[in-house]
Amino acid sequence: MTNFKAYLNHISLDCVIFGFHENQLKVLLLQMKYTKKWALPGGFVKKEESFEEAAERVLKERTGMDNIFLQQFHVFSDPKRSEMNPAVKDLEKSGSGEGLDWFSQRFISTGFYALVDFHKVDPAPDFFSDKCEWKALEEIDNLMMDHRQILDKALETLRLHLTYQPIGYNLLPKKFTMPELQKLYETILGKSLDRRNFQRKILSYKILNKLDERKKGGAYKAPYLYEFNLENYNKALKEGFSGSW
């Protein structure tokens, strides 16, 4: 309690930004300039910000978007996490930081996941990276530090939330088809679902409005379009789906 330095930490956050495109769940990643490793968009928290505000700022910078659905899910605080991977050295090489003293401090990161409409995102690299791209889950490899672990935890949390919350409004365009919504659920859950049972169940939640339009131009029979019933959707977000007790 007596020494300042003992409590000096680098407080950062990392965002797992999920988007849905071409029937695939994708994550927005940055490629680092020197090592070419991939990283989750993140940044340091300023002293006058809450973590949530900082996450909004990071998201705005990387995607150009405001008002994104954001959810804090875990703090990664292993004192060795910055050593776990030579990637910290990249930062050093890249000219940021103040030399060894800066890097000898520990790095603490809070994980957020974000759900966004793929088409509305305008990906922008940051100072340390030369690419900012969407990657489908299976394509993701060669992540820096413990970012694989952070990503996995985000997915795990998202799956869990799926069981008691509606999801989709932030990931899909305004109008969408039942097969699209199902595919979204399937990719998040990592398993396939029965088409007819899925429809019955999701409709029973009353969070969808069936439209009179059909989605033409696709292959074979044209599916109906749906939109979310925001009133019920938001109610469900707050109250959650039943829960088994």
Partner DNA sequence: GGATAAAATGTCACACTGACACAATATTAG
Partner DNA sequence: CTAATATTGTGTCAGTGTGACATTTTATCC
Site string for a second copy, 66-85 (x = CB under 8 A): ------x-xx-xxx------
Q: To which residue do tokens 């999920």 refer?
A: 18
CB of 207 to DNA, least distance (A): 14
Among 74, 162, 179, 186, binds DNA (CB under 7 A): 179
The total of other beta-carbon atoms located within 10 Å of residue 154's CB is 24
CB of 134 to DNA, least distance (A): 23
CB of 175 to DNA, least distance (A): 12
CA 200, CA 238: separation in Å to the nearest integer? 22
Decide: 41 and 126 in contact? Cβ < 8 Å.
Answer: yes
Decide: 144 and 87 in contact? Cβ < 8 Å.
Answer: yes
Pick the closer one to DNA by CB: 95 or 217.
217
Decide: 73 and 154 in contact? Cβ < 8 Å.
Answer: yes
Site string for DNA, 25-64 (x = CB under 7 A): ----------------------------------------
Non-local CB neighbours of 229 within 8 Å, separated by 6+ positions: 206, 207, 208, 209
Q: To which residue do tokens 């039942």 refer?
A: 178
Q: Per CB under 8 A, does 48 bind a second copy?
A: yes
Site string for DNA, 196-225 (x = CB under 7 A): xx-xxx--x---------x-xxxxxxxxx-
Decide: 40 and 151 in contact? Cβ < 8 Å.
Answer: yes
Structure tokens at 194: 């029965």
Residues that bind DNA (CB under 7 A): 177-179, 194-197, 199-201, 204, 214, 216-224, 244
Q: Where do contacts with a second copy occur on this chain (CB under 8 A)? A: 1-2, 4, 6-11, 44-52, 72, 74-75, 77-79, 96-98, 106, 108, 110, 159-160, 162-164, 185, 189, 193, 201, 240-241, 243-245
